[in-house]
Structure 1
Amino acid sequence: MTDPAPERGGPVVFNGPVALLRGDHSVQNNYFTVPVPDPVELGAQQLGREVLKQWAREAASRDLLGPEPIPVRWRATSGGEVADHAERTEHPGGASSADLASFAAELSHPERRRLVVLGGPGSGKTSLAVLLVIELLLRMDAGDPVPVLLSLASWRPAEEHLAGWLERQLLRGYPYLERGTVRELIGRKRILPVLDGLDELPAAERPDALDALNDALAEGVPLILTCRTDDYRAAVRDSSVLRKAAVVQADPLTAEEAAQYLLRVATPQHRERWRPLAEALRADPSGPAAEVLTVPLMLWLCRTAYARPPRGARPDGDPAGYPGGEPGELADRGRFPDAGAVEGHLLDSLVPSVYRREPLPPPPVGRKESREAPWEGRRTDPERVSRWLGFLARHLERRGEPDLAWWELGTAVRLGPRMVVTGLVCGVCVGILVGPVDGVGAALGYAGPGTGLGPRLVHGILMGAADVLINAVPTAVAFGLAHGIGFAFRGGALEPSRVRIRLGRGAGRARARSGREILARAGLGVVGGLAGGLGIGLLQGIVRKLLWDDPLALRVGLVDGVIYAGMFAVAAAPVCAVMAWCEAPIAIESAPGPRELLGRNRRTVLLQWLMFAPLFGVAIGVAGWPAVALFDGYLWGIRLGWSIPAGLRFGLLTAFGAGLGAMLSLSAWGQWTVFARLWLPLTGRLPRAAMDFLEDAHRRGVLRKVGAVYQFRHARLQQHFARPPTSPAGESSRG
């Protein structure tokens, strides 16, 4: 018998979403339904809201959400060189970026959630991807996959499974998510990866990436992929097209479409400002202005550069030199005789358009408020950004190649000044490391006249300062020379390396350095050891002479210098050779992204320092005793003394100081630290957070990633920024 209202309640038993209320003797009294939310669904909905906020804000900053988007036409492709069989793709018909509903409707079908977006540079592939993500999120219902836009540049398909990479990217970009929730979302195919930039992977890895993506598609994973048309065509020749994926390609705009767009986006009050340019495009569809403005990127730059009407005039009455000139001037063949002149004029407005002065948005959920670097956010000074980008572009022009590698930034400084800067930084760092330690030891062991803390402190400070000088000067000379010799021997910058020693199954697999490289590294150790040891000994003698007026100080310093030089050279040669043998060069063309490669090399260098500095120090401490015994009394009659404890202390301090100097002067990470983190920011040629600046420029579309290096998004963009900064500030272009 069922009692709908029992006087004494029984236990409630949950069975999924159904709850049973049991009475006495386990008699079912009633039941009711309680909705139990699925944590994966909750995670998907929360992720969708955060992704929508993120990309809606980004689309607004890129001016993609205006009432009149650029009408790029996307043409569906079947078969041929870039698409699968027509009966497998069920591709969407041709459409325009102004009508994303057709794309979103097709991609909302469970069997049609695969799309490849192709186009040339500046055709709007990334913009389409951003707008598609927003449209799909607005249409998202319970159970639908969450579209997440990710850059492919950091994926290494030969080393990392797509699911593992997706998990890492989601946890990094949306840190409030739990790892278990992310794995459930990926496992249940509740993530729709929108992968931007297959062309930003190294060319050798693009076929592997397509193979991995096809494996994922075989498991039913939805996917949207963007790539440059030529790069995709080359990749599928060595692999396969993305199976069962619709392919759309961007068609170039016509001069008539560009003219109509410019008139539509203008407000009624300002439409007449744009009419002369629109009429010129229609009258001369093959002219320089039309040739440039049929590229979506340039059309957007034109709209942005001339968004404001003139607000003043130059003394000669010409308003063109002020921000917000008249757009009709682009059709003036006298001022802009060819497409390059029009393009250059518009490119001048790129930095002010992309790096806008706007308030910073709040940080994403799970992220702390960042300490704003000088370039960060949207309060950036466009003039400084242009100067930094110009420095990078001129650096690439001098090198004659498009790849911007972080380990080569130091070569932007000529070899002579670079040796001086490297030596100075090494000397200062070693002095700071060794001087305080010796100063504390001298204060603790003080046995001179006077008692109390004061005399001890004075003695310790004097001895510490003397040791800073004694160690810094020869270190600067030795490692400045070592850097110059190493650069001349290699004929270029030091490249990142890794430690090839592995335990267990990974042992011995990495390719070792050649015998010539190992001998060269040993030779650098000999040169550095001789220069450093002789310099330290001589400076010790000079300091003794100055502080205590010892008549034998210079002679003793010379003897010390000879012995130190021999000890350092003998100890440094095998240690440097073993270090070189333990290293393996990294194949840059298949390396991870720039920041990841920088982190790997930093860990390698620090590991080598901690591994080999104690070995070098013990070698000096132990080898010093027989050297002193051998030369005792035979060099100008100077009697020598040496003890193992004092020798070990001297050897370890020298070793860690020398290791620090070697890190800064003879490693890729050290040169990055000296120049990209210290010297170039100090001289105003880069911001102090250089890697963050490069990543931010990539996110804003100024740079692109190709494996471990950056490139300017277009060769024309690099040429534009590489121009010498000769124009006065008052005569700069629009924007």
Structure 2
Amino acid sequence: MGRRGSGSGIPRQSAGNTHYGPVNLQTGDHSVQNNYFSTTPRSPLDVAADTLADAVQKQWEDEAGFRRLLEPAPLPVRWRVTERKVAGPPAGATAVGTRARFAPLPGLDPLTGEHLRDGGDLKGLHDVYGGVASGRLLLVGPPAAGKTTAAVLLLLEALRYRARANPTDREHIPVPVLLSLNGWDPARERADEWAAGQLARKYTSFRSRKGHDLARTLLQKGRVALFLDGLDEVTGRLRAAMVSALTSAPCRLVLLSRSLEARLTAKKARLSGALALELQEVCPRDAAAYLLHSRRASSSSAWQKLTRHLQDRPGSAVAEVLSRPLWITLVLDVYGDDSPVDELLDTARFPRPRDIEHHLLDHVVTAAYTPRDGYPDRRPRHSPEIAERTLRHLAARLAEEGTHELCWWHIPTWAAPRPRAILLAALVGPTFGALSGLTFSYAWGPVWGMLLGLLTAIGGGFVAGGLHMRFSERQPLPSAGWRDVFTPFSLTVGAGIWTVSACALWYGYQLRGDPMPFWLCALLTFVWGFAATMVSGSGFGIVKGTLLGFGSGPSFAALRKSDRAAVVDTRSIGPRDVWRHHIGLRLLLGLTAGSTFMLWQIPVTAHALGWRDGILIGLSTGCWTILIPCLVRNLAVATALAAVQLSAKEGTPVRLLSFLEDARRRNLLRAVGPVYQFRHSRLQEHLTRQRAHLPKA
């Protein structure tokens, strides 16, 4: 605080009092003016909330600019209360007084039925979000209705409203955060715990342990509002579990879903007190204004002709097409300022709305993979030609299989397995043969060692190649993460077997009069505990048959189907996460299985033949135990090798899984649990027809 005189030459004075000011006191000529300023420190929650608001605003303003949602005005958003049976009656969400779960945001009125009667626009949507007493909002609509677009625009409107508020009111206005439901297991994590983890991963200010706790506190105190996208990308049973868990979330919620999936979910579980709003088609006048304003000031005659047509003939084919945000933004992507956009009005070429949509779909992939000025960090890794060729191939494959689901673990069946089997045999056989030959050399001499090592290499390669050839047929997905392998039941069984085995071995040696240290007994019997853990869980499929290359019957977990729910029914996890699990965790489990076997094999063999032979024999058999599950029987490895084959034959990207994830980020694909789908079935059908009409090489 400083005190400053009104005239020159007056020295500055300071005061030690603290006021919520400034407060000025001045009397007489040449008197001293005292300025008092507040020095009350801001709370850590206020600082964290403002920091988060700045980061979220920067993130989504950049995303909205890339999606052409703000140039120069936001894309129109229209809504009304839905008549679909996806939530309870609106009266349950508009309760006021003591029944209200959330007070209206400062400056907004409590929501009443009067506000909902005629629907509204983006500003009205924010009023609903901030005034609904239940704090629960459900946005639904058909495919391409612009649900994510509406959520992004609502989020930015909420951030601007918060920024305009005074500091006292700002404490009561939550920071909206848009998250995908991917990765949440509602059976293991509360909504606020999961959301706190997501904030810690996405925003640097929450990445420490203290930051994670701060994020959880913000959520529990209602200082963050969750905008949750992707409910329709989750499988049926899990959707109901998520909706049930979200009912008790301590913060405001905005949940997005396609209408069909929302209706199916509501049959099993409903978001308590939620107000369900359905997004409406964009009216021709709004579409015309947005398209015209999105061009430069002196729009070409073609754009002016199109916009006049939309206003004068609202029932025309082009007006029907441009009633959905998807097609509006696609028109902006396809046609530049001076492009002949008025060709869409040619009724001879485009007599029906479907004809216009097909024409735009011809350019959708090119538009998604064309670099945009001002966004160097979003420059596509693949050219439009490669992207379109790859997506056409994928669409044709799915059409041949009669499905809309792209399961990456089925990709190995799209390429001949023999080249992969030969490659893996060439890797596994010599490695196993070299270690075996070294063992035989110490036992019977170098000549026999080389001969037997060569035979072992040939036999090992033949068995390894034969095992991989089984991937010529579709395989089920064995697991999607460590939770599927190390279940509570399997860990309990493994720990019990290990304890009993170690105690029995120690006691047996005690009875023989040849005592063995308990730590050595525990080390020798660890393999039995680990094996029991793997056999009693889905990890059995990772290590079965690794000694001789042949299976040994079903695992114990197969007899307990109630404890082995499908992956997609236990949690929401994306395809790339599942693939990384098989590349990483399965490799780790294979190494653990081989190392565990060596820990048992080496001491046992050394006790009979000596440490040198024990180590060599243990290394050779352990090597085989590691290589089979890590390389030969790993679906992720088979998929990566098949992608290389497809690249050589079809011209698709070598890193096919990375391409699929990139296409998902560009809104061409979506993920439903561990599988990919084309975001719009019309796009899949269109790409399939395109490939069918291409000339055969």
Q: TM-score, normalised by structure 1?
A: 0.68
User: Hey, what's the Cα distance between the residues in 2 that align with 1:699 and 1:643?
Assistant: 59
Equivalent residue, structure 2, for 1:45: 50
Counterparts of 1:593-604 in structure 2, within 5 Å, are 593-594=573-574, 595-602=576-583
- Contact conserved, 1:487 with 1:494, CA < 8 A, in 2? no
Shift of the 434–256 alpha-carbon distance from structure 1 to 2, 3 Å rule, reads same
- The one-letter code sitting in structure 2 at the alignment partner of 1:405 is C
CA distance 1:613–1:173, change in 2 (3 Å): same
Asked if the contact 1:429/1:660 (under 8 Å) is kept, the reply is no
AA aligned opposite 1:656:
C
Following the alignment from structure 2 to structure 1, what is the Cα–Cα distance between the partners of residues 283 and 373? 37
* Partner amino acid, structure 2, of 1:606: L
The structural deviation recorded for 1:612 is 3.6
> What's 1:331 paired with?
345
1:231 is aligned to 2:255: no
CA distance in 2, matches of 1:138, 1:521: 52
Deviations 1:297-339 (A, max 9, x none): 1122123212242xxxxxxxxxxxxxx4x22322334433544
- The answer to whether residue 129 in structure 2 is matched with residue 107 in structure 1 is yes
Question: How far is the alpha carbon of 1:396 from its aligned partner?
Answer: 1.8
1:422 and 2:420 matched: yes
User: Which residue number in structure 2 is paired with residue 138 of structure 1?
Assistant: 160
Q: Is the 8 A contact 1:427 1:474 kept in 2?
A: no
Structure 2 segments unaligned to the other structure (5+ residues): 1-15, 19-35, 95-110, 497-531
Q: Shift of the alpha carbon at 1:151?
A: 1.0
State whether residues 430 and 658 of structure 1, in contact with CA within 8 Å, keep that contact through their aligned partners in structure 2: no
Instruction: Say which SS state the counterpart of residue 154 (structure 1) adopts.
Output: coil
SS of the aligned residue for 1:239 comes to coil
Q: Is 1:707 matched with 2:673?
A: yes
Partner of 1:179: 212
2 CA distance for matches of 1:426 and 1:13? 79
Aligned residue for 1:148, secondary structure, equals strand
Q: Work out whether 1:345 is the aligned partner of 2:372.
A: no
* Corresponding residue of 1:307: 336
Contact persistence 1:698–1:705 (CA under 8 A): yes
Identity level (%): 29
Q: What is the CA-CA distance between 1:357 and the residue it aligns to?
A: 1.1
2:439 and 2:617 in contact (8 A); partners too: no
RMSD (CA atoms) = 4.8
How far apart, CA to CA, are the structure 2 residues paired with 1:170 and 1:42? Answer: 15
Give the C-alpha shift of residue 467 in structure 1. Answer: 11
For the 8 Å contact 2:141–2:257, the answer to whether it is kept is yes
Q: Select which of 323, 326, 329 maps to 1:297.
A: 326
Q: Tell me, yes or no, if structure 1 residue 499 matches structure 2 residue 485.
A: yes
Deviation at 1:148, TM superposition (A): 0.5
Q: Would the aligned equivalents of 1:256 and 1:281 in 2 still touch at CA under 8 Å?
A: yes
Inter-partner Cα distance in structure 1 for 2:17 and 2:280: 62
Q: Is the 8 A contact 2:77 2:150 kept in 1?
A: no
Q: Letter of the aligned partner of 1:120 in structure 2?
A: P
Q: Give the superposition deviation at 1:272.
A: 1.8
1:691 CA displacement: 3.9
Which residue pairs with 1:206 in the alignment? 239
Aligned counterpart for 1:478 among listed residues 463, 474, 486? 463
2:228·2:254 contact (CA, 8 Å) conserved in 1? yes
Q: Which moved more, 1:595-604 or 1:187-196?
A: 595-604
Are residues 673 and 580 of structure 1, via their aligned partners in 2, closer, same or farther at CA, if it must alter by over 3 Å?
farther
1:722 aligns with one of 667, 674, 688: 688
Q: Distance in 2 between matches of 1:437 and 1:467?
A: 11
Q: Name the aligned partner's letter for residue 179 of structure 1.
A: H
**Which amino acid letter does the alignment assign opposite residue 204 of structure 1?**
R
2:91 counterpart of 1:124: no
User: Is 1:240 matched up with 2:207?
Assistant: no
Superposed, which structure 2 residues align to 1:57-96 within 5 Å? 57-77=62-82, 81-86=86-91, 88-89=93-94, 90=111, 92-93=115-116
Q: What CA deviation, in whole Å up to 9, does each residue of 1:377-402 have, x standing for no partner? A: 44652222223322332232222111
Quickly say closer, same or farther: Cα 1:481–1:443, change in 2 above 3 A: closer
Letter in 2 for 1:597: V
Partners of 1:483 and 1:79 lie apart in 2 by 50
What displacement does 1:588 show?
3.4
1:474: how far off?
Answer: 4.7
Structure 1 Cα separation of the partners of residues 337 and 140 of structure 2? 33
Of 135, 155, 160, 2:184 maps to 155
Residue 329 of structure 1 aligns to which amino acid in structure 2? E
Cα distance in 2 for partners of 1:440, 1:341 equals 71
| CA-to-aligned-CA distance 1:591-644 (integer Å, 9 cap, x gap) | 43124433444465235423443576699999999xxxxxxxxxxxxxxxx988
Structure 1 unaligned residues grouped into runs of 5+: 1-11, 15-30, 310-323, 364-375, 449-458, 530-567, 626-641, 730-735
**For the residues of structure 2 that align with 1:377 and 1:266, how far apart are their CA atoms?**
23
Q: Deviations over 1:474-498 (max 9, x none)?
A: 555323322334655xx54554364
Shift in Å, 1:706: 1.7
Is the 8 Å Cα contact of residues 511 and 585 (structure 1) preserved in structure 2? no
2:218 maps to a residue whose letter is: L
Alignment of 1:283-432 (within 5 A): 288-309=317-338, 324=339, 326-358=340-372, 377-378=379-380, 380-413=382-415, 417-418=416-417, 420-430=418-428
Deviation, structure 1 residue 53: 0.4
Equivalent AA in structure 2 for residue 589 of structure 1: V
Report how far residue 236 of structure 1 moved.
1.4
Call closer, same or farther: CA 1:352–1:480 in 2, change over 3 Å.
same
TM-score by length of 2: 0.71
Aligned residues: 590
Question: Using the alignment, how far apart are the partners of 1:725 and 1:428 within structure 2?
Answer: 36
Aligned residue for 1:3?
Answer: none
Alpha-carbon distance in structure 1 between the residues aligned to 2:640 and 2:283: 49
Counterpart contact for 2:597–2:622, Cα < 8 Å: yes
CA distance in 2, matches of 1:596, 1:293: 36
2:572 to 592, 609, 616: 592
Residues of 2 paired with 1:362 and 1:467: CA distance?
Answer: 59
Change (3 A) 1:475 1:511: closer
